[in-house]
Structure 1
Amino acid sequence: MTQLDDSKNRQSLLDLINTTDFVEHISVDCIIFGFHKDKLKVLLLKYHDLDLYSVPGGFVFNHEDLRQAAARVLYERTHLHDLFLDQFHTFGRIDRTENNVHQILLQNKGIEVPKDHWIFQRFISVAYCSLIDYTMSETFPDALNESVEWHDVDKLPNMAFDHERMINEGLIHLRKNLDTQLVAYNLLPEKFTMMQLQQLYETVLGEKFRRNNFQRKMLSLGTLERLEKFYDGSPNKAPYLYKFLPSEISV
């Protein structure tokens, strides 16, 4: 990092801590899971000055809804946009920010801030999760103080704050809600085969299903609409295409 880059980095941190337009004690975090074939990953930020990783997150402006803040923060940190973000949990344990990354970053930049500054105070975080095809998003911005990387969900690096718990809770939510918007909005094409859906379920849940049993289960949920058959010119029996029925989006 050049001296000019370091100066810009320091100024961006100064601008952040001097801002008074944030909602006090509330933050948003985004747990973005990535799926492709038989791999499941999670998107993490790597702090250049620290041996720590975090999920994309940030503060909420006074004029923003929570969902707007989550979408803005995600775009600012990763350039991902137009994702369905499912609000799944609120994290508020009193010790959740004991390994205060902000304090260490400011100290490393030689920025002195009073101990009672708002950025060091207790924050409750509203968490959102999403599931995308990670091969569609492999190029991310390289910010002055962080980089963005995909990591296997079962091989997490050293995490900041309580973000390992966030990822674990997000994975539980993902596995419980695969039948809903998490799949319909971000991952599969508008029209898909039952085999494509089964491959997704098997990867996320980590188990195999018998084809007939899986199809029977999915059709019984009432979330799919059967469409025309998919003809690809092969001699095999043409499978039906499906799409998800519209459903409500959480706030």
Structure 2
Amino acid sequence: MIIPPGFASFSEYSDQFLRNVAVDNVIFGYHEKELKVLLQQPYTLEKWTVTGGYIKKTESIEDAASRIAFDRTGIKGLYLKQFGSFGNPQRVIDDGFTPQRIGKITGFELPADSWIFDYFVSVAFYTLTEFSKVESTKGELEADSRWWPVNELPPMMFDHAHIINEALSALRLHIAHFPIGYELLPEKFTLPEIHSLYETILGKSLDDRNFTKKLLLTKIITKLDETRKIGRHRSPFLYKFDKEHYQEGLKSGVALVF
């Protein structure tokens, strides 16, 4: 029995959610110079999906996205950005998404005309989080939850590979105009580390001097009187984000087009 206690049937359980609309939350993390995405694998299926779920009738779309992000990462208040919506009559057709399979997952017999097999629209967000702080947690209906490099995705259900690509495109657009990075890096970092982050996300090389000059002009990072020893003769200074300027940059934008 996977349906939470207190519900006599899947129908009773599902009545707490909005029908034909869901949230898909593309959770990005940055680790060892790779951009990764947190994926989930439903029970009995070989394919994977982005983290997501239905919207409760008692919450907003943003609240649903925040809840899903917290449930999967254990971290509250993560940066969320809505980047699109996806709907297509063909998107529900998948060789693994059948009443028989879903019945095995939930423990209930589902009719073939159940609303969860109907045409539905996904409101998509991307979420940014520091990789090292995440304790990945799988949901009640999932066999696994883990990070995957965005360039090495496993077989995906529905149109979720497309959703990830669109999330990455949106992230690349936004990072060129807004100071995204606070959520992906540790509290203290070196200039080479933030330079590498931007190169990884944008998928291209950036001139070191030009990048550093533009970044410092925004005042979104502050140089610390601390260094990190990474070799016999290398001890680069550490930096951290200036939260006040960072928040202002998120609202109004900054000159970070490279």
Q: TM-score range by the shorter chain?
A: 0.7 to 0.9
Alpha-carbon distance between aligned partners in 2 of 1:78 and 1:237, rounded to the nearest angstrom: 33
1:97-144 Cα shifts (integer Å, max 9, x gaps): 211626353243574333332212211111111233323325434746
CA contact (8 A) 1:192 1:243 kept: no
Higher relative contact order (CA 8 A, sep 6+): 1
SS of residue in 2 equivalent to 1:130: strand
1:123 and 1:142 map into 2 onto residues whose CA distance is: 21
Aligned counterpart in structure 1 of residue 26 of structure 2, from 26, 31, 55: 31
State the distance in 2 between where 1:230 and 1:37 align.
Answer: 25
Query: 2:82 aligned with 1:87, yes or no?
Result: yes
Contact 2:69/2:78 (8 A) holds in 1: no
1:83 to 1:174, Cα distance in 2 relative to 1, 3 A: same
Residue equivalent to 2:150: 153
Residues 205-216 of structure 1 mapped to structure 2, 5 A cutoff:
205-216=202-213
Q: Distance in 2 between matches of 1:31 and 1:113?
A: 28
1:77 and 1:104 mapped to 2: Cα distance?
26
Which TM-score applies when normalising by structure 2?
0.78
Q: 1:9 aligns with which of 2, 11, 14?
A: 2
Question: Would you say how many aligned residue pairs link Structure 1 and Structure 2?
Answer: 239
| Separation in 2, partners of 1:77, 1:225 | 29
- Indicate how the Cα distance of structure 1 residues 227 and 60 shifts in structure 2: closer, same or farther if over 3 A, else same: same
Identity across matched positions, percent: 31
Alpha carbons of 1:77 and 1:197: their partners in 2 closer, same or farther (altered >3 Å)? closer
Equivalents in 2 of 1:104, 1:237: separation in Å? 59
For 2:166, the equivalent position in structure 1 comes to 169
| 2:199 counterpart residue number | 202
1:207–1:67 CA distance, 2 compared to 1 (3 A): same
Instruction: Say whether 1:46 aligns with 2:41.
Output: yes
Match of 1:177, SS state, is helix
Is the contact made by 2:39 and 2:146 (CA closer than 8 Å) also made in structure 1? yes
Please say if residues 37 and 199 of structure 1, whose CA atoms lie closer than 8 Å, have aligned partners that are also in contact: no
Relative to the length of structure 1, the TM-score reads 0.80
- Letter of the structure 2 residue corresponding to residue 121 of structure 1: D
Note the residue ranges of structure 2 that are not aligned, 5 or more in a row: 252-258
Indicate the residue corresponding to 2:104 in structure 1. Answer: 108
Within the alignment, does 1:21 sit opposite 2:16 as a pair?
yes
The one of 220, 238, 241 aligned to 2:239: 241
Query: What letter matches 2:57 in structure 1?
Result: N
Report the Cα distance in structure 1 between the residues aligned to 2:192 and 2:47, rounded to whole angstroms: 38
Partners of 1:140 and 1:21 lie apart in 2 by: 23
How has the CA–CA distance of structure 1 residues 164 and 91 changed in structure 2, closer, same or farther, with 3 Å as cutoff? same
Between the aligned partners of 1:11 and 1:47, the Cα distance in structure 2 is 17
Task: Output the amino acid matched with 2:113.
Answer: D
